[in-house]
Amino acid sequence: MATPPRLKAHWFKPEQARNPAQTGSAIAFIAWRVGSHVIKRLREAGFDIDAGPAYFGVLRELLVFLLAGADRIAYARLGGEGRTPFTRALVLRAAEILDENESDLLGALQDGASYAERFVEQFNLLSGHYAEFGWSEAEGPDFAFVRYLGHRLEPLLPEKDRRWVLDQVMAVEVPEAVSMLQRSMDGVFSSEPRRARRESMSGE
């Protein structure tokens, strides 16, 4: 079983003010790490997700799901005024990371568009769908929220895997991914200073 990645979710200088856009940019990288971890776990569970377009197709769906969840959490903590710059930075930074990785591995798109632009369009479309479902800080996404992700993933997988992915996502992958996202956002939003590292004693 894949070991969850260690996510740095605290600011190194907690005394410095951070605005919603800075926070959103930080969460985008965390969501990327979480999404990549989910794919690793799916592969270990026997799902065939080949490196290349199939990998990024699944990753985009996972990112949209995680960013939609992060947007809900941010709204609960920042209100409507802070949510807008947070989510804008969140999505644009995730799109930028995606573009860098897809361009390196798959090359440029033939139509001259960018992977970042395509991801933003995908998020704008699907976030409206996810808006119809529930997500609370206490319980995370509701059944419909997670089921929609499973249905989005089905056509991206080989025929042999499609009937199993919904159960795998709902029962195994999403609970861990959401827990990682929520813990990381707790850390990023925390105003408490990090515990100072114990300095090594000479001779130890």
Tell me the three state secondary structure of residue 136. Answer: strand
Q: pLDDT (tens digit, 0 to 9) for every residue of the chain, 204 residues total?
A: 555 555 444 444 554 557 899 999 999 999 999 999 999 999 999 999 998 999 999 999 999 999 999 999 999 999 999 999 999 999 999 999 999 999 999 988 877 789 999 999 999 999 999 999 999 878 899 999 999 999 999 999 999 999 999 999 999 999 999 999 999 998 888 765 555 444 333 443
pTM metric for this prediction: 0.86
Among residues 57, 68, 200, 77, which one has the least CA distance to residue 133? 68
Find the distance separating the first CA and the last CA of the chain, reported in whole Å. 35
- Spatial separation of the C-alpha atoms in residues 115 and 96, rounded to whole Å: 8
DSSP structural state of residue 185 = H
Tokens of 193: 């200073």
Which pLDDT belongs to residue 137?
Answer: 78
